[in-house]
Structure 1
Amino acid sequence: MPSPRSFTDGISIGVLTRLFDRDLVDEVLVETGRREKRSRLLPARVVVYYVLALCLFFGDGYEEVMRKLVNGLRFLGTWRTGWQVPSTSAISQARQRLGEEPLRVLFERVAAPMAQPGTKGAWFHGWRVMAVDGVIVDVPDTADNLEAFGKTGHQDGKSPFPQVRIVGLGECGTHAIVAAAIDSWRVYERELFARVLDDIEPDMVVLADRGFFSYELWCQARQTEAELVWRISDNVDVPVLEWLPDGSYRAELLPKNMKSDLKRGRRRSVPDEARIAVRVVEYMVTNRGGKAETIRLITSIMDHELAPAAELAALYRQRWEFELTLDEVETHQMPHHRLLRSKTPELVRQEIWALLLTHYAVRDLMLEAAEDMDADDGLDVDELSFVRSLNAVRRQVTNQAGFSPSPVEESDSRDD
């Protein structure tokens, strides 16, 4: 008769383990050197699932989240007795042992664009529509967090909490965040964007707001071979070289120092490789206050027949889809006060990666649901409620937490 399995062998996070299955988590733990050589009350695999659960139940304390995670296990009859919900201190120590790296690597292994060729709202003339944007979140006001992240300054003084900046790359049609960079609020968005450039593919068109533009970053982004549609500020000088039939015009970008010399009348030869050809699209919108505002876009798509100005203006509106994505994380997953739990910089980053992982898993479920609702044509995932989907996942966690996502051999318990 086989021996009862360790109680912790069955802990998972229900429906979300379809993406973060036991074998994948174990692979990541081995890769990051976090797999234990001896048995613990809280093995590293359990702590990974627990940190993900923390990001689903932000309003609950450490011990209460653990109770939800193991709901029903004691009553299955095949588990070793004697396991008790660990104390808050024990759970905190287990999080510290795990560290940031396994959650970061797990995100990098799992997060990828979700849209299929037929996914509604995800494509523009064969390019996958992506956007980049950033958000700042508050973290607990501890000495370690203050030293690592600092507080922002403003007219009325400093912010009440240290703050972390997150810049993400997201798929507009599915709201899936596929890459991210995390640092202090002092690190500008452009620098963080440069850290996710490796995740941009040639089949993408990437949208960005005016805060991201610089000549150097544009050149780096173009090296990915993706197409770009970025807004630029009014003070960026892009003289008209040729008007095109759709109302856009050809222009070129030059390095800042070369433009300055030319403006001062200094004769200077500009090498051809420094001249970056772009198309410029300008149009007017009415903002929330009823005031007219000019939007200027530059794009690497030079064919005005393939992508007319009006289509590019409509495309740029898709950038708001990614702002809504960040709002889903900041407003609906996080508590109303929008303050993370973690009191040390490494655990702050661990918590953020877990937030991104759980958001990605919810969005993956939503896309599958949208595609299943109408087998003939599919449903636009934007028609589904993120809040309702998140609540459904929370219910699944508490209802199914007692069932491991994959069969467990008796020998597995010795590894922990």
Structure 2
Amino acid sequence: MPRAGQLKSSGERLSDRVAVGVLTCAFPPSLVDDVLARTGRVQRRSRLLPARVVVYFVLAMCLFSGQGYEEVARLLTEGLRERRRWRAGWTVPSTAAIWKARSRLGVEPVKELFATVCRPVATPDTRGAFYRGWRLTAIDGTTFDLPDTPANVEAFGRPPRSGRGEVQVGYPQIRMVGLVECGTHVVFDAAIGPLRTGEHALAADVFASLQAGMLLLADRGFYSVDLWQKAAATGADLLWRVRKDIVLPVIEQLPDGSYLTEIFDQSDIHHTRPGMRVRAVEYTIAGHEGVYRLITTILDPSTAPADQLAALYAQRWEFESTLDEIKTHLGGRHLVLRSQHPDGAEQELYGFLLVHHAIRHLMHQAASEGDHDPDRISFTRSLRVARRQVTDQAAFSPRHTRPRRQEHPR
């Protein structure tokens, strides 16, 4: 009797012929092999589920969220019988075999793949992606629910019950802070950690992806002088909302209604150290109470007038739309990651980010070819197309089918 995933007659492994359509396009096999080599996951002996195939399985698992392990494998290989590429019968790898293969792979290869591939994709011609030469980006945080296992609880923790002190309830959760390109919804950096790790700590980890020519939007929850200084040091410009209790003395009133001010470290009560010069914009929104206050590193009002900055700040909500795409449309309503162990949870979360990036990148390409705004293309419809491509193209192997002078080590 053949082993699971192995052809009965030829001995060729089913797993060697699995391909995942849009995902192998976004993450070519040669790139996956390179990432596996860099992270030390190149296998020294032939396995039922080679590391490269397991990477694609993790991506497909997120693309078909809600489906069981074996069903995902069936979806990946559905096209084989339709195209009659194989005459022999076959069986898919078992759930246990797939779980062990995921454990062997670990989180580092998918994390490295994310770091290698996920970059901003907008060009100067991309509609809605830039403001006066600045690439619009946003930072925010969120949490993902995990299966209620002792390992996940110990590694990530549970949320505290409101008003009940240290009592913790509900699913254990993993925290993520990410950077999003507003015009394309592409997540181009992310930091992941336990629930007890604050958003400020994780935010500092993603600032390395900021650079001059970007304008970073952030909600008031991210404001601190220390975090502001770290973000500004990258060369990117900032436009952040601040809380109403932050004292902003008027140093110079500007013609557009904004004013120059200084911010000080909260520990420096008597302002014994020099403050940091910023520009403040205050405005109201019809139907909302109170005054909204923004501060920015753009000090010249002729470069970015106050009324335009106030309108521009609404772009920060593109991060929320991105999360909705990942959590609701890609992951399904009431998403709970499937992984029972911490490494698997991180691996799975990076898988979701990679799949989302692949779909959003293709959406941007389609928008560019048709001179459309990427926001005007339906993510839901694009997701359906991506899922159809997986089953339609499952007969194509991620392995090289022609001899090459140099092969990646396996």
TM-score strictly above 0.5: yes
Query: Quick one: which amino acid aligns to residue 330 of structure 1?
Result: K
Evaluate the alpha carbon distance shift between residue 25 and residue 367 of structure 1 in structure 2; reply closer, same or farther with a 3 A threshold.
same
**Which one of the candidate residues 101, 120, 138 is aligned to 1:94?**
101
Q: Does 1:169 align with 2:179?
A: yes
SS of equivalent to 2:256: coil
What is the aligned partner in structure 2 of residue 221 from structure 1? 231
The residue that corresponds to 2:277 in the other structure is 277
Q: Deviations over 1:239-273 (max 9, x none)?
A: 11011000000001112222x125xxxxx4x3xxx
Q: Contact between 2:175 and 2:197, CA under 8 Å: does it hold in 1?
A: yes
Q: Give, in angstroms, the shift of residue 186 of structure 1.
A: 1.2
1:77 positional shift: 6.0
Cα displacement (A) at 1:81? 5.4
Which residue number corresponds to residue 394 of structure 2? 401
Distance 2:125 2:407 in 1: 44
Partner of 2:270: 261
Check 1:413–1:31 CA distance in 2 against 1; reply closer, same or farther (3 A cut).
Answer: closer
Q: 2:215 maps to what in 1?
A: 205
Task: Give the equivalent residue in structure 2 for 1:388.
Answer: 381
In structure 2, relative to structure 1, the CA distance for the partners of 1:94 and 1:115 (3 Å cut) is same
Q: 1:152 aligns with which of 150, 153, 159?
A: 159
Deviation sequence 1:130-187 (CA, Å, 0-9, x none)? 0001111100000000001111112375331101111100100000000000011111
- 1:72-111 alignment to 2 at 5 Å? 72-73=79-80, 84-111=91-118
SS of residue paired to 2:270: helix
Matching residue within 29, 32, 44 for 2:39: 32
1:307 corresponds to: 304
Question: Is 2:31 the counterpart of 1:63?
Answer: no
Determine if the alignment matches structure 1 residue 293 to structure 2 residue 268.
no
Asked if the contact 1:122/1:128 (under 8 Å) is kept, the reply is yes
Contact in 1 for aligned 2:156/2:195 (Cα 8 Å): yes
* Cα-to-partner distance string for 1:52-103 (whole Å, 9 max, x where unaligned): 0010111211100011112233565666957531111111010000000000
Share of identical aligned residues, percent?
A: 49
Does the alignment pair 1:53 with 2:60? yes
**Residues 1:406 and 1:44: Cα distance change in structure 2 (over 3 Å):** closer
Distance 2:214 2:229 in 1: 16
Residues in 1 aligned to 2:81 and 2:74: alpha-carbon distance in whole angstroms: 11
Q: Check the 8 A contact 1:70/1:401 in 2, yes or no.
A: yes
Out of 326, 331, 345, the position equivalent to 2:328 is 331
User: Aligned partners of 1:194 and 1:350: how far apart in 2?
Assistant: 21
Structure 2 residue runs of 5 or longer lacking an equivalent are 1-9
1:350 aligns with 2:347: yes
Shift in Å at residue 414 of structure 1? 11
| 1:133–1:293 distance in 2 versus 1, CA, 3 Å | same
8 A contact 1:241–1:250 mirrored in 2 = yes
> Does the 8 Å contact 1:55/1:351 carry over to 2?
yes
Q: Residue 307 and residue 385 in structure 1: after superposition, are their counterparts in 2 closer, same or farther (change >3 A)?
A: same
Consecutive unaligned residues of structure 1, counting only runs of 5 or more, are 263-267
- Rate the CA distance shift 1:350–1:211 in 2: closer, same or farther, 3 A: same
Counterpart code for 1:297: L
RMSD: 2.1
CA–CA separation in structure 2 for the residues paired with 1:8 and 1:90: 12
- 8 Å Cα contact 1:39/1:415 also seen in 2: no
Conserved 8 A contact 2:200-2:227: yes
Match of 2:197 in 1: 187
Structure 2 equivalent of residue 265 of structure 1 = none
